[in-house]
Amino acid sequence: MNPAEALSTQILTTAIQRNATDIHFYPFTSYTKLYVRIDGKRSLLNSLTTSQYDLLLTYYKFTSGMDIGEIRKPQNGTITHHFNAKNFSLRLSTLPVNQHESLAIRILPQDNYLSLEKHFLFKHQYTIIKRWMKHKSGLILFSGPTGSGKTSTLYGLLEAVLKEHSYQTITLEDPIEKKLQDILQVQVNEKAGITYQTGLKAALRHDPDIIMVGEIRDRETAQFAFEASLTGHLVLSTIHAKDTIGTIYRLLDMGITPIELEQSLIAIASIELVPIFPNTSNRTRAALVELLEDRLLIQAIHGKLMTLEQTKQSFHHLRKKAYLYGFISKDTYENS
């Protein structure tokens, strides 16, 4: 094992043992700070010398398929990592900063994804979302910040549904975060000409029942997702937004009309991870999910509902309920 590989193994082992979801390398002129994100909180793990980081960065860029000589443009890559008989996919991203390159690594477990039912703090929400999957066509969206579990929720939902029904299911992802059985997974690769738009066009020719679009990032992807949902397909996707009402605003800003929203959108689930008391389960965090459907969804689409604050589906009500049930601390309730 060469020095770079040995250092990488040491860092990854420490991060995985601490259940970190991300590793951040922050380079300065004479040293590099190494941070990990655990339960949503970023903390300093260690510092590396400049020579150590340069060696490690070259190793990661080479093994993940990046261009080693390119330091002026952001790059992305993936690596498969094995630890204690478990498999992990590492999603790497570089960013040029101050004549250096920073590096971020997202750690994606491949073997033991938490079941969808256990992911939610309130189990009845799982029942509601599974009911949405009975629609033959339309669009279901999951929103929330980075790291809130949007994609993990989609994976869990697809796996649960496919255990009960045989659906032709195709995913378009950038990158593919977990290999799923009985699902056609397409890796978006813009360099090879496989964009979300071209991939979606090709997927529609494969007679899918369900299409999962990894993320709606722009106007073109949003338009294609809505068009697919109008042609007899059930489409699932994620989008970055603060809450369910904010998701409506984002879609409108992307050029989706209220009429298109009303015709296609089945429901929105906005996810927020909160720390829970250890004695409630072995988990450290669970999902509060703000749900928007039916009458309230129509009101929100047409601007007649500006907030869910006074409803039982709002994050405010869910946090209060979780605190009264003893699932979360008073500090979490007051400062979320």
CA dist., res. 234 & res. 204, Å (int) = 11
- Is the same domain home to 121 and 105? no
CA dist., res. 236 & res. 15, Å (int) = 31
Element (H, E) at 155: helix 150-162
Of 44, 74, 109, which residue is a domain's last? 109
CA dist., res. 69 & res. 94, Å (int) = 13
- Is the same domain home to 156 and 252? yes
Give the residue numbers spanning the domain of 9.
3-109
Q: Residue 201, SS3?
A: helix
The reported pLDDT for the residue numbered 281 is: 52
Mean pLDDT value of segment 309-331? 90
pLDDT score of 112 more than 70: no
- Is the same domain home to 153 and 35? no
The reported pLDDT for the residue numbered 259 is: 95
The reported pLDDT for the residue numbered 224 is: 85
- Is the same domain home to 103 and 123? no
pLDDT score of 205 more than 70: yes
The reported pLDDT for the residue numbered 204 is: 86
Q: Where are the beta strands (DSSP E) in the chain?
A: 22-27, 31-38, 41-49, 75-83, 86-97, 100-109, 138-143, 169-173, 184-187, 210-213, 234-239, 265-275, 285-293
- Bigger pLDDT: 230 or 290? 290
- Is the same domain home to 279 and 197? yes
- Is the same domain home to 24 and 74? yes
Sheet strand arrangement including 210-213 = 184-187, 169-173, 210-213, 234-239, 138-143, 265-275, 285-293
CA dist., res. 215 & res. 308, Å (int) = 24
**What mean pLDDT is reported for the chain?**
90
pLDDT score of 163 more than 80: yes
CATH number, domain at 105?
Answer: 3.30.450.90
pLDDT score of 77 more than 60: yes
The reported pLDDT for the residue numbered 210 is: 95
pLDDT score of 111 more than 90: no
Most confident region among 77-86, 184-193, 247-256, 283-292 by mean pLDDT? 247-256
CA angle in degrees (0–180, nearest 5) for 80-182-225: 90
CA atoms within 13 A on the CB side of 225: 30
pLDDT per residue over 216-240, tens digit each?
989 988 998 898 898 889 999 999 9
Handedness of CA 150, 109, 163, 208 (dihedral sign): positive
- Is the same domain home to 137 and 284? yes
CA dist., res. 114 & res. 281, Å (int) = 12
- And the tokens for 93? 């991203």
The pLDDT-based confidence of 113 (bands split at 50, 70, 90) is low
- Is the same domain home to 34 and 123? no
> DSSP letters along 218-236, please?
SHHHHHHHHHHHTTT-EEE
- Is the same domain home to 271 and 159? yes
Mean pLDDT value of segment 178-205? 85
pLDDT per residue over 132-157, tens digit each?
999 999 999 999 988 888 988 898 89
- Is the same domain home to 273 and 314? yes
- And the tokens for 324? 């009264």
Contacts of 159 (CB under 8 A, 6+ apart): 113, 116, 180
CATH number, domain at 189?
Answer: 3.40.50.300
Number of domains in the chain: 2
Of 74, 109, 144, which residue is a domain's last? 109
pLDDT score of 115 more than 70: no
Q: What is the pTM of this model?
A: 0.80
Of 109, 128, 159, which residue is a domain's last? 109
pLDDT score of 117 more than 80: no
- For residue 55, report the phi and psi dihedrals to the nearest 5 degrees: -65, -45
The reported pLDDT for the residue numbered 26 is: 94
> DSSP letters along 287-307, please?
EEEEEEEHHHHHHHHTTS---
Q: Counting every residue, how long is the chain?
A: 336
- Is the same domain home to 88 and 199? no
- Is the same domain home to 105 and 120? no
The pLDDT-based confidence of 181 (bands split at 50, 70, 90) is confident
Contact 157, 236 (CB under 8 A): yes
